[in-house]
Amino acid sequence: MHDTSGILSKKRGAYYTPEAVARALVAWAAPSQSDRLIDPACGDGVFIAVHPNSVGVERFSPAAAVARQKAPGAIVHEADFFSWAAETHERFDAAVGNPPFIRYQLFSGEQRRKALAWCKTQGANFSGLTSSWAPFIVAASALLHRGGRIAFVVPAEIGHAPYARPLLDYLVGHFTWVQVISIREKLFPDLSEDCWLLYCEGFGGISRGIAFTKLQQFEFTSIPPTDGEWISIRDWKLAFGGRLRPFLLNRTIRGFYSDIAADRKTVLLSQLAKVGIGYVSGDNDFFHLRPSQALELGIQRQFLVPTVRNVKAVTGGEVTKKSVQLWEKEDQQYLLLRIRKDASLSHEVKRYLESEKGHVVRQGYKCRTREPWYSVPDVQIPDFFLSYMSGDRASLIRNNAACTAPNTLHVVQAKNKQSAVAIRHGWHAPLTQLSCEIEGHPLGGGMLKLEVKEAERVLLTGRVFSKADERLLAEGAFEMKRWRHYAS
Ligand SMILES: C[S@@+](CC[C@H](N)C(=O)[O-])C[C@H]1O[C@@H](n2cnc3c(N)ncnc32)[C@H](O)[C@@H]1O
C-alpha cells in the first residue's frame, strides 16, 4: 500500500483495500450490474470503481476527490456517513467496503454519539468502547432493501472484542445468512491488525447461526467459500461467551476443552485468586529510584518498596531475595517511592518532592487528580505477578521477596495457601496454556494480551491427563499461537 496523496492515515482508520479483495466482495454482494451498491467509507474508491451503479460516502475531501477520479461513474458524497445515512431516503441492494477501524479513544465526541444513537434506532446497542467499524456495518445494513447483501473487510476483533457481540447479534437478527471468514495470512501486510471478511445476505430475515470459515490466505472467489462450520446461536453464545475466535480450534480440541471446563476438578483463576492491575505511578522515572540515587537523596528505606518493572527483570519464574540483591548490585531503577497518604514526610523526601522535577511531575494528569499527588495508590504485595502482554505464553511469577509491580504486570493475590499451591502447580499445564490463548486475545505483532477479566477466566485443574490428552491441549495452544502469528 503506497500512499502518494497523504490520504492514508491511522487516525482516520484509512487503510485501503487490495483490489482483488474489493472485487471479490463486490462480485458477490452486487452480482448484477444494475444492483445499487453503497460503500459507506469509500476512501480512494477501490470498491465503487469496480461496480457501475455505485454510491460512495467519504468524509475526507482529498480521498473523496481521488475516489471521483477512480470511479467516474459513481456518485461520491463528501460527508460523515452517519449524518448522511440518518437523512437519506435512498435504499440499496448491497453495501460493501472496508470501514474505518478507529478505536474508541479517537472515535469520540459528537461523531460517536451520533453513530451509536443511530445504531440504537436500528436495534444495535453498542457501548462507548466500540471501535468505529462495527457501527458502520449496522448503519450501512439499515440502508438496504429487503433481501439485500453486505460484504465487508472487518478487523479480526470481530472474533473476540466485547463490542463484536452486539454487532453479530444485530446481524443474525437482520439477515438470513451470516458468514465470517477468518484469514490467517495478513490481508494488509503493513497493518499489525489481522483482517477477516464478513458476508451476509437476506436483509430483513433472521439467521439461526453463523457460518465460520477458516482460510490460510485470501484467494479471489466470486462467491464466499462454502466450506466451514455452522455455529448455532446457542453454541456461539454459550460455549465461549459470544466469541468466535475459539472456534478457530478444531472440534475435537474444542469439545475436549469444554468437557474439562465442565469438570468438577476444574476451576477458574478467579475462584483461587483476586487478579488486578499493578499500580499506576503517574511518572515512572520520578517514582522509581536507583539505589545510588536513593542514597544520594538520602531517602530512607521505609519509603522504598522493591518493584518488578517487567517480566524480563525476572528469571526462573520467581522473584527471590537473590533477584533483589542482584538489582541492587546492578543499581537498577527498582525502588518505588511509596509514601502512604497519612505518612509524615522526612526532610529528604520533602526535598525530593519539592525539586524542580517534582514540580513538573505533579502537573501530570495522574498526579494532579490524586490527593496527595505523591502518594501512589494500589501498591500491592501479591503472591504472584502475571504478564499481561506475552510472547510465547503468559508468565506467572512467584513473589518470594515482598515486591510490588506497576501496571506492566497483573498482580495475583491467592485466596489462601492451598489456592496459591494450586495456581503454582497448575499454571504451566497445557490446559492452562491453552486457556490463556482462548481467553486472551492477540494484540498484533504476535503478542497475546490477557486483560484482568480474561485472566480471571483462565482454567486450572487438578486433573491428571494422559500424554495423548496433554498433546491435544498443547496442539490447541500451538494452533492459537499460529493464528496470532507467534508460531508458524
Ligand atoms: C479503511 S478506509 C477504507 C477505504 C476504502 N473503502 C478501501 O477499502 O480502500 C476508511 C475510510 O473511511 C473514511 N472515514 C472515516 N470516518 C468516516 C465517516 N464518519 N464518514 C465517512 N467516511 C469516513 C476515512 O477517511 C477512510 O478513507
Query: What digits encode the pLDDT tens for the residues 3-40?
Result: 444 555 656 555 789 999 999 999 999 999 999 999 99
Q: Phi and psi of 304, rounded to 5°?
A: -125, 135
Pocket test for ligand 1, best of 42, 47, 50, 153 (most atoms within 8 A of CB): 42
pLDDT score for 431: 96
Question: CA-CA distance, 188 to 133, in Å (whole number)?
Answer: 16
Rounded Cα distance, 139 and 81, in Å = 9
Q: How far apart are the first and last CA of the chain?
A: 25
Pairing mode, strands 229-232 and 37-39:
unpaired
Stated pTM of the model: 0.91
Report H helices in 48-132: 61-70, 81-87, 109-121
Q: Which of 180, 177, 179, 174 is nearest to 124 (CA)?
A: 174
- Report CA(188)–ligand 1 centroid distance (Å): 16
The finding on whether 23 has its CB within 6 A of some atom of ligand 1 is no
Structure-block grid coordinates of residue 223:
462467491
In this prediction, the residues of the chain whose per-residue pLDDT falls under 70 are 1-14, 104-107
Q: Measured from the CB, is residue 16 less than 6 Å from ligand 1?
A: yes
pLDDT tens for each residue of 71-129: 999 999 999 999 999 999 999 999 999 999 877 556 677 888 888 998 999 999 998 88
**Is 80 close to ligand 1, i.e. is its CB under 6 Å away?**
yes
**Ligand 1 atom 4 nearest Cα:** 43
pLDDT of the residue at 310: 86
How is domain 19-248 classified at the CATH fold level? Answer: Rossmann fold (3.40.50)
Alpha-carbon dihedral 113, 124, 177, 234, rounded to 10 degrees: 140
Q: Which cell numbers in the block locate residue 51?
A: 461496480
In the reported structure, the alpha carbon of residue 464 is separated from the centroid of ligand 1 by a whole-number distance in angstroms of 52
The burial of 321, by beta-carbon neighbours within 10 Å (0-12 exposed, 13-18 middle, 19 or more buried), is given as: exposed
The tally of CA atoms less than 13 A away on the side-chain side of residue 268 is 12
SS3 199: strand
User: Which residue in this structure is represented by grid cell 466469541?
Assistant: 243
From 58, 66, 110, the mutation candidate for ligand 1 (largest count of ligand atoms within 8 A of CB) is: 58
| Whether the CB of 112 sits within 6 Å of ligand 1 | no
Q: Which atom of ligand 1 is nearest to the CA of 42?
A: 6
pLDDT at 110: 83
The sign of the torsion formed by the CA atoms of 293, 295, 296, 298 equals positive
Nearest to 152 by CA among 125, 175, 173: 175
Please give the Cα distance from 192 to 188 (Å, whole number): 8
> What amino acid occupies position 440?
G
For ligand 1, atom 7: residue with the closest CA: 16
Output the CA 403–ligand 1 centroid distance in Å: 47
Give the integer Cα–Cα distance in Å for 386 and 395: 6
* Alpha-carbon span 171 to 177, nearest angstrom: 9
How many angstroms does the Cα of residue 225 sit away from the middle of ligand 1? 27
CA distance 389 to 448: 6
Q: Is the CB of 194 under 6 A from ligand 1?
A: no
Q: CB of 141 within 8 A of CB of 202?
A: no
Residue 145 DSSP code: E
Average pLDDT, the chain: 93
CA 486, CA 24: separation in Å to the nearest integer? 29
- The rounded Å distance from CA 20 to ligand 1 centre is 18
Q: Measured from the CB, is residue 45 less than 6 Å from ligand 1? A: no
135 CA from centroid of ligand 1 (Å): 13
* Count of alpha carbons within 13 angstroms of residue 361, beta-carbon side: 20
Domain ranges of the chain: 19-248, 274-483
Q: Answer yes or no: is the C-beta of 57 below 6 A from any ligand 1 atom.
A: yes
Check if 12 has its Cβ closer than 6 Å to any atom of ligand 1: yes
* Torsion 327-329-330-332 (CA) sign: positive
Give the nearest ligand 1 atom to 101 CA: 1
Which residues are registered as beta bridge partners of 307?
404
Lookup: cell for 270: 478467579
